[in-house]
Amino acid sequence: MIAGFWEQLDTPIFALAPMEDVTDVAFRTLFAKYSPPETVLWTEFTSADALAHDFGRTRVDHRLRFDREKESPIVAQIFGSNPENIEIATRLCVERGFDGVDLNMGCPVKKIESAGSCSGLIRTPDIAKETIEAAKRGAKRLGGLDAPVSVKTRIGYNEIDLPGWIGFLLKLDLPVLTVHLRTKKEMSDVPAHWELMSEIVQMRDALAPKTLIIGNGDIQSMEEARVKMSETGCDGIMVGRGAFGNPWFFDECYTPTMQDKLRVLVEHTHLFEKEFLTQPESRNNHSKDTAEGWHRMKNFAIMKKHFKAYANGFDGAAGLRANLMKADNALQVEEVVAHFLRSLKENS
């Protein structure tokens, strides 16, 4: 088994969940700065089919952008059902310096899973196995240690199926298995089945004692994370929505103030603008089709999704949010926040 950086980490492990259009390089940079250094970061999921071809790669490359100096450990998450493309995409991620590669076997989005990828793989375990083997081939480093290949999945497709699906994965020699405790059919509509985690841990003990199990679903605080780990025996916790607007989530010694949150909102918006809305200086007229050109772009509306999470839970937050939603760039966001803080001071 190739455990790579996972072996160097102490348990319990804490990880920021991969979330499309949320955990991009801008958002993750804040976690790298404000959460403990061993917090494991994950990229948004990225299509292996796209990565394996020149044109497709230019369209998705921004999802794999990361700051090598600041973001570590970091795992690139890819998805697909074509082993050849998975191998190529894994190799590319390893060459770029990611600490590990994770295969998404849980996303329930119809268009993707009905094409046989992500949670679609729960229905085709043989193909899932082939993609894991392909990723392991792609993760080989010449003259160095191979990169670890992990899987993030759900507990079944239509029905909970621990022996059939989780048991199957546990036999595939994975250093880490992240389990989102819902079936594909359940989407995010029911509470995560934490009551099943002890059974998963027992299966792991029997089938794959070296595989670390990370539990995922509905965790809202570090306190809750620790309770779940001590109740179930899992090795780590991955947090998604609970960490929106809170890059201090994994820091148990610090509770951010409203001022902290607003300062970070501004910092986040500037980072987002720099990463996704600003053209690199070296750009020439032909770079429209390259990763560093036109496809650098994300839409400012994506950034706006974060505003509610930061500006929340204090007097005047609703009015502040309404003004933030009218902003079109980072400077305007900065002005709205500064105006809000000034008026608070004047009225106190």
Ligand X SMILES: Cc1cc2nc3c(=O)[nH]c(=O)nc-3n(C[C@H](O)[C@H](O)[C@H](O)COP(=O)(O)O)c2cc1C
Active site residues: 107
Here the contacts of 261-264 (C-beta below 8 Å, separation 24 or greater) are: 261/310, 261/311, 262/310, 262/311, 262/337, 262/340, 262/341, 263/337, 264/30, 264/34, 264/310
Return the residue of 39, 58, 150, 216 that touches ligand X, per CB under 6 A: 216
CA distance 213 to 223: 19
The minimum distance between CB 77 and ligand X, in angstroms, equals: 6
3-state SS class at 104: strand
Three-class secondary structure of residue 214 per DSSP: strand
Among 104, 150, 211, 232, binds ligand X (CB under 6 A): 104
Q: How many residues bind ligand X (CB under 6 A)?
A: 21
Residue of this chain nearest to ligand X (CB atom): 240
Judged by CB under 6 A, which of 9, 26, 122, 239 binds ligand X?
A: 239
Question: Which residue, 117 or 211, has its beta carbon nearer to ligand X?
Answer: 117
Q: State the minimum distance, in angstroms, from the CB of residue 328 to ligand X.
A: 23
34, two tokens: 């404000």
The Cα 98–Cα 77 span in angstroms is: 10
Q: Rounded to whole angstroms, how far apart are CA atoms 140 and 134? A: 10
**Binding window for ligand X (CB under 6 A); candidates: 8-16, 104-112, 120-128, 246-254:** 104-112
Name which of 30 and 344 has its Cβ closer to ligand X: 30
107 binds ligand X (CB under 6 A): yes
What residues numbered 270-309 form the site for ligand X, per CB under 6 A? none
Quote the CA–CA distance of 182 and 187 in Å, as a whole number: 7
Nearer to ligand X, 17 or 172 (CB): 17
CA atoms within 13 A on the CB side of 91: 12
Q: Name the residue type at position 222.
A: M
Alpha carbon of 302 to those of 27, 184, 204, 298: distances in Å? Answer: 12, 25, 39, 7
Residue 19 or 317 having the CB closest to ligand X = 19
C-beta closer to ligand X: residue 16 or 258:
16
Which one among 28, 57, 91, 152 touches ligand X, defined by CB under 6 A?
Answer: 152
- In the region spanning residues 11 to 70, those forming contacts with ligand X, defined by CB under 6 A, are 17-20, 22, 44-45
Q: How far apart are CA 261 and CA 191, in angstroms?
A: 28
Instruction: Tell whether residue 204 is a contact of ligand X (CB under 6 A).
Output: no
- Give the interface segment with ligand X, choosing from 168-176, 221-229, 237-245, 288-296 (CB under 6 A): 237-245
Nearer to ligand X, 107 or 132 (CB): 107
- Residue list 67-96, contact with ligand X (CB under 6 A): 77
Residue with tokens 């603008």: 273
Q: Which residues bind ligand X (CB under 6 A)?
A: 17-20, 22, 44-45, 77, 104, 106-107, 152, 180, 216-219, 239-242
